[in-house]
A and B are shown apart, each in its own frame.
Chain A
């Protein structure tokens, strides 16, 4: 099949799966997950074919594969939509296809397919376990199947459709549409267990917080469209004239150029979707969803979409910028927000006990790296980190899900009333869940950037060297400190979860997850370790040039002029030092935590620790300064004061006035004059009638006399009028 046709087909199978499950097979579990798996599998297959064809073609960056069809007639032209395949599309497609497929497979096990239905399970709540009798007549409580099993697969299939569409499209409008569809899916999936108030609220929070960014993005889209008359990447981003014009033309706001203003508006979308400060608050709460969702949203797809947008529009965001010159306003803000977020989120992650929350903050932090990298113009490094992060973060989330699953098993067995996600309740799982442990370790090393044998090292090192090489020392220091904390909290997590001895009975009874869950972990581990080797910089001591820097060459085409120029060993040594130092520090601090112990950091940090644990009280602050006032604005100001009191008051006032006038009229004019006159008139008529009646006596003689009399009188009148006058 032609490559273009294949690209068109990539997003469709999951969409089809969604509709089939939603309409027909929602009662059949196996059929539903097979539909979803086949859908994701076909998308994966098409993506791989496209990938391998693409990497063999030459200068794809210069000549992307494009095709489009007319979609919407507007004025005198058409808005066309289509596909666009260049190196950025290809590498994004690669990691999306792999992680999506792995997550789909994993979900079958995570939702306990094949297990009995729970005793008291209801739709809208996580399964609570089922009791089964074994051959000896003993009753065991075992995990039970998810009550809304089919619905889950329908939702994630729709999600996959959104992501694939976002990647292959050739214009900003369809990107926005796919972006919002993913927003809906994340809302549905975070709130999957909708009967839990926490899940319900987290879902609304995620939707609304990202919508803040989306609204700015929509305006940026409208601005771009009205200025250039197109939304196609090719016509805007590959066209130097358009970019130049946008960079020169002044916008009406804050002295920004149009490129700057549109860039900032689009970047606001990234801030929302990729959970950058100050819109990061939704992402940790999104952990309320089932774990495969966390992997889906926080690694493979949705948050990556924000970075993808920024990378895609990098030519616009950096329009008018040359390496070494001062940053454009969008780049400056990206560098500032990204690096701040990287450090800010890392500090919060240090103080979290929920295994998924730590990962959630680490995601925010790592996304900050990518945003900052784009901000300082390290384009290739940012994309590289996007790819490696997708794999190792999907791995870590799925690994944490496996841990939680094992712990839940232990909880069902022991009957303890503990939170199976709290790392303080774990410990020693290394021996209980070896596959999970080793794969989690691979992911953890990648996250902390362990030298040489982890993919995260290579991509993070490039970001650091990009920041350093460009001369952005503040950014470099922020990112390096964040890297130290990353290694620290990663090791804290690994130590608390897997090392030492079990701190609870449940942890002691945890069991390894089923093969359908561990297999995806193993596949992802391979990528988490080896993927970095495709992008070893040429000037890397010892290894550089031995293995060709395929990634740098392939993706570098996209931004030929924007690479770091000089190379220094400082960032390399820094990155090795912070990574190994952080890991050692983490292990040292947490190696001896016993059941019931306080967090060692809590002793050391005191109040600061409490602030970190409570995420700098951002949620409370937002509630106080945004949520409450707008609620007041809606409920009291608009609904009550404006509508009820003011406007209805005027309307009813007019009504009362009219009514009062009517009463005045009726009392002083109607009653005495009109009614009075009418009454008198009718009375008079009645009297007259009564008198007239007397004439109708029925006597012919009388009538004759009257007729004669009347005729005579009429004759006299006529005579007077016509003859005499």
Chain B
């Protein structure tokens, strides 16, 4: 018990890995067993995350449940984990979404064992990023999350999967190359990879010289390397074009996790590393970040509106919604320390959660209809609400949550970002509101073409209603989206205290 309680984070982190290893030993033909085992392994991780939440003290500043062991003592890298309110939220989101994504994959019959094993490895990778307090460890998990995703798209994706998976891995690899260099630079200059030490040393470091480069240059290089790596992951316009392809070709559960969690790694990187380690640079370039966020919001929405592929439309919506996260982060960069920054950051973190829920839900629902019709072309649908009333209502519900309708969590987060951003960057906020208008346009376009209008008789006898398993996947998402929208305090309370302490 003691081993359990004192190493909660490691348990959360490595239960999926352990599950993956055991999974590999199970007989390949027992598909049912493999599925359930994978589901239970990730659920166990969620269970421990809930225990973590119950023991978490939101009012305490700093990191809790820290674990630290030497890892590479010679280069001062250690296995250092810890959570604060922000990473707790991300851990909960990850461990909550992964079992649902696994449950959503129960209809996969192709190469079942490697599929579920990769998924569990992916979960460890994502969790590791949120839990690491050591830059080298952070980087290792960052890469660990990348590889399973590549294979998930490449092996279980649809027609154009080779192109999409290659684009995905090259884009993100391109980003992480700089990340690795920057982390090494910082490690060499500061003599440690430990985040808690770096936070004290790095921002005010005056003699950060390396290879004869000035402090300014070293910091500048590190800053931009970080920014680009995270910008690709979020993705911030104009680094976003890998996303529609990757999403569209990925299997349903892959898209759910990709949109639900993987994109948040980038935003989390901004919050955890860029803003605290580079306050001066962040402030200097915050305006540019705000401009890119605005472009992401507007062009993301317009891009989504311009699609006729259902999944691609939802993929573009992620660019639009993540733009609000970045807008909030830009405010935090520009007006660090002010109440506006706190409110905007609250909004950004909450938006990470609400977008995680709604985009996972939307991708899942696209998958549900794709499984039955084998088409994603919006023009092939039409009037389906009559055939599948429950699916239609669920889709409408989720689409409205994605739209940011008041009453759903997305509204609270977008409102907070806009409220925080308005006094700091008025013009960008006003233009973002235009983006919000187009958010409505593309959501209604999808609903209109799928559910409304005259029935496309092609599906009259072939389309079946959403089944129980699928309802079990979507229901928790729907309930959470609504609950957060009606009563956000239980989440924002934690986020708010963490943000206040962190910045």
Q: A66-74, A351-359, A361-369, A398-406: which lies at the B interface?
A: A66-74
Is the beta-carbon distance between A74 and B416 smaller than 8 angstroms? yes
How near does chain A come to B280, taking the closest CB pair, in angstroms? 23
Chain B proximity mask over A135-157: 1 for CB below 8 Å, otherwise 0 = 00000000000000000000000
A73 surroundings in chain B (CB, below 8 A): 489, 492-493, 496-497
A643-B440 contact, Cβ under 8 Å, with A218-B433, A219-B422: no
Residues of B within 8 A of A651 (CB): 167, 171, 241-242
Shortest distance from the beta carbon of A133 to any chain B beta carbon, whole Å = 28
A122-B386 contact, Cβ under 8 Å, with A211-B440, A212-B437: yes
User: Do B299 and A638 have beta carbons less than 8 Å apart?
Assistant: yes
Contact residues in B for A180 (Cβ distance below 8 Å): 405-407, 411
A148 to B406, CA, bound (A): 26
Interface: A336 (CB within 8 A): no
Contact of B422 among A72, A195, A211, A226 (CB under 8 A): A226
* B407 with A177: CB separation less than 8 A: yes
**CA of A208 to CA of B301, assembled, Å:** 14
Kindly list chain A residues whose C-beta atoms are within 8 Å of the C-beta of B433. Answer: 215-216, 218-219
- Restricting to A101-136, which residues have a CB under 8 Å from any CB of B? 122-124
Q: Does A596 contact B (CB under 8 A)?
A: no
Q: Contacts A222-B419, A638-B303 given; indicate if A207 touches B440 (C-beta within 8 A).
A: yes
CB atoms of B342 and A194 under 8 A apart: no
A72 to B495, CA, bound (A): 11
- Bound-complex Cα distance A458 to B240 (A): 61
Residue of A nearest to B406 (CB): A177
Among the 9-residue stretches B21-29, B195-203, B451-459, the one with 4 or more Cβ atoms under 8 Å from chain A is B451-459
A22 CB-CB contact with B under 8 Å: yes
Instruction: Take A195-B383, A642-B299 as given contacts and tell me if A181 and B489 are in contact as well, using a CB distance cutoff of 8 Å.
Output: no
Inter-chain contact A215/B437, CB cutoff 8 Å: yes
Does A570 sit within 8 A of B, measured CB to CB?
A: no
Q: Which of B262-309 contact A (CB under 8 A)?
A: 299, 302-303, 305-307
Q: How far is the CA of A357 from the CA of B75 in the complex (A)?
A: 78
Contacts of A638 in B (CB 8 A): 299, 302-303, 306
Interface positions of A from 150 to 207, Cβ below 8 Å from B: 173, 176-181, 184, 187-188, 191, 194-195, 197, 200, 203-204, 207
- Any B CB within 8 A of the CB of A655: yes
Do A208 and B489 touch (CB < 8 A)? no
| A638–B438 alpha-carbon span in the complex (Å) | 13
- Which residues on B sit within 8 Å (CB–CB) of A642? 299, 303
* Complex contacts, B453 vs chain A, CB 8 Å: 194-195, 197, 200
In B381-414, the 8 Å CB interface with A consists of: 383, 385-386, 389, 393, 396, 400, 405-407, 411-412
Q: Is A94 an interface residue when CB atoms closer than 8 A count as contact?
A: no
- A597 CB-CB contact with B under 8 Å: no
Interface centre among B306, B426, B496 (most CB of A within 10 A): B306
The reply to whether B419 and A226 contact each other, CB–CB distance below 8 Å, is yes
A643 close to B241 (CB less than 8 A): yes
Complex contact A634–B303 (CB within 8 A): yes
Contact mask for chain B residues 460-503; partner A; CB cutoff 8 A; 1 contact, 0 none? 00000000000000000000000000011100110011001000
CA A252 – CA B242 in complex, angstroms? 39
Q: How far is the CA of A548 from the CA of B405 in the complex (A)?
A: 45
Q: Which B residues lie within 8 Å of A208 (CB)?
A: 437, 440-441, 444
Q: Are A74 and B305 CB-contacts (below 8 A) given A643-B241, A647-B238?
A: no
Which of B340, B407, B489 is close to A72, meaning CB atoms less than 8 Å apart? B489
Would you call B343 an interface residue if the criterion is a C-beta within 8 Å of the partner chain's C-beta atoms? yes
A580 within 8 A of B: no
Interface positions of A from 200 to 234, Cβ below 8 Å from B: 200, 203-204, 207-208, 211-212, 215-216, 218-219, 221-223, 225-227
Min CB gap B332→A, angstroms: 12
Quick one: given A124-B386, A208-B444, are A219 and B492 in contact (CB under 8 Å)? no
A75 and B342 alpha carbons, distance in the complex (Å): 6
Q: Are B406 and A74 closer than 8 Å at their CB atoms? A: no
Interface size on B, residues (CB 8 A): 63
Kindly name the residue among B419, B421, B441, B455 whose own CB sees the greatest number of chain A CB atoms within 10 A: B419
Task: Give the distance in Å from the alpha carbon of A72 to the alpha carbon of B412 in the complex.
Answer: 9
Q: State whether B429 touches A219 (Cβ < 8 A).
A: yes
Q: For the complex formed, measure the closest distance between the CB of B269 and the CB atoms of chain A, giving whole angstroms.
A: 21
Say whether, besides A197-B453, A643-B303, A184 and B400 are in contact (CB < 8 Å): yes
Asked if A62 is at the interface of the complex by the 8 Å CB criterion, the answer is no
- List, in ascending order, chain A residues with CB within 8 A of B140's CB: none
Expressed in whole angstroms, the Cα–Cα distance for A70 and B416 within the complex equals 16
- Return the contact of A194 from the options B430, B440, B451 (Cβ within 8 A): B451
Does B60 touch A at the CB level, under 8 Å? Answer: no
Tell me if A639 and B303 are in contact (CB < 8 A). yes
- Does A325 have its Cβ within 8 Å of any Cβ on chain B? no
By a CB distance below 8 angstroms, the chain B residues around A639 are: 302-303, 306-307
User: B241 touching A181 by the CB < 8 A rule?
Assistant: no
Q: Is the CB of B452 within 8 A of A635?
A: no
A188 partner residues in chain B, CB cutoff 8 A: 396
State whether A71 touches B171 (Cβ < 8 A).
no
- A200 contacts across to B, CB distance below 8 A: 448, 452-453
Q: Which B residue's beta carbon lies closest to that of A635?
A: B306
Q: Is the CB of A75 within 8 A of B496?
A: yes
Neighbouring B residues of A178 by C-beta, 8 Å: 406
| B415 close to A (CB within 8 Å) | yes
The answer to whether A71 and B489 touch across the interface, beta carbons within 8 angstroms, is yes
Inter-chain contact A218/B448, CB cutoff 8 Å: no
Contact residue among B167, B238, B437 (Cβ-Cβ distance under 8 Å from A211):
B437
Question: Does A633 interact with chain B (Cβ within 8 Å)?
Answer: yes
Q: Is A648 an interface residue (CB 8 A)?
A: yes
* B471 CB to nearest A CB, Å: 12
A124's contact among B385, B406, B444, B492, by CB below 8 Å, is which? B385
A54 to B328, CA, bound (A): 44
Contact yes or no, B454 A195, CB < 8 A:
yes
Residues of A within 8 A of B242 (CB): 651
Given contacts A72-B412, A173-B415, contact A194 B306 (CB under 8 A): no
Contacts of B400 in A (CB 8 A): 184
Asked if B9 is at the interface of the complex by the 8 Å CB criterion, the answer is no
Residue of B nearest to A191 (CB): B452
* Distance in angstroms between the alpha carbons of A60 and B462 in the assembled complex: 62
Shortest CB–CB separation between residue A590 and chain B, in angstroms?
A: 37
Nearest B residue to A158 via CB reads: B407
CB distance from B487 to the nearest CB of A (A): 8
Complex contact A22–B489 (CB within 8 A): no
In the bound complex, CA of A327 to CA of B422 (Å)? 28
Smallest Cβ-Cβ distance to B239: which chain A residue: A647
- Bound CA–CA A204/B451 (angstroms): 13
Q: Mark B225-249, 1 if CB is under 8 A from A, else 0.
A: 0000000000000101110100000
Cβ A176 vs Cβ B406 within 8 A: yes
Given A74-B343, A75-B342, A124-B386, also A218-B418 (CB < 8 A)? yes
Nearest opposing residue in chain A for B301, CB measure: A634
As a 0/1 sequence over residues 630 to 661 of chain A, the CB contacts with chain B under 8 angstroms (1 = contact) are 11011111111011000110010001000000
Measured CA separation A124–B456 after assembly (Å): 13
List CB contacts (< 8 Å) of A395-428 with chain B.
none
Q: Is B181 an interface residue (CB 8 A)?
A: no
Q: Is B147 an interface residue (CB 8 A)?
A: no
Bitwise interface map of A from 51 to 91 toward B, beta carbon under 8 Å scored 1, else 0: 00000000000000000001111111000000000000000
The 4 A-B pairs at the shortest CB distance, nearest first, are namely A177-B406, A639-B306, A634-B306, A635-B306
Can you list 11 A-B pairs with a CB-CB distance of less than 8 A? Answer: A22-B393, A72-B488, A73-B489, A73-B492, A74-B416, A76-B500, A173-B415, A177-B411, A194-B383, A215-B437, A219-B422
A-B contact sample (9 more), CB < 8 A, given A177-B411, A204-B448, A208-B441: A72-B412, A74-B492, A188-B396, A194-B453, A200-B453, A208-B440, A223-B422, A635-B305, A643-B241
B interface residues, Cβ below 8 angstroms from A: 167, 170-171, 238, 240-242, 244, 299, 302-303, 305-307, 339-340, 342-343, 346, 383, 385-386, 389, 393, 396, 400, 405-407, 411-412, 415-416, 418-419, 421-423, 426, 429-430, 433-434, 436-438, 440-441, 444, 448, 451-455, 487-489, 492-493, 496-497, 500
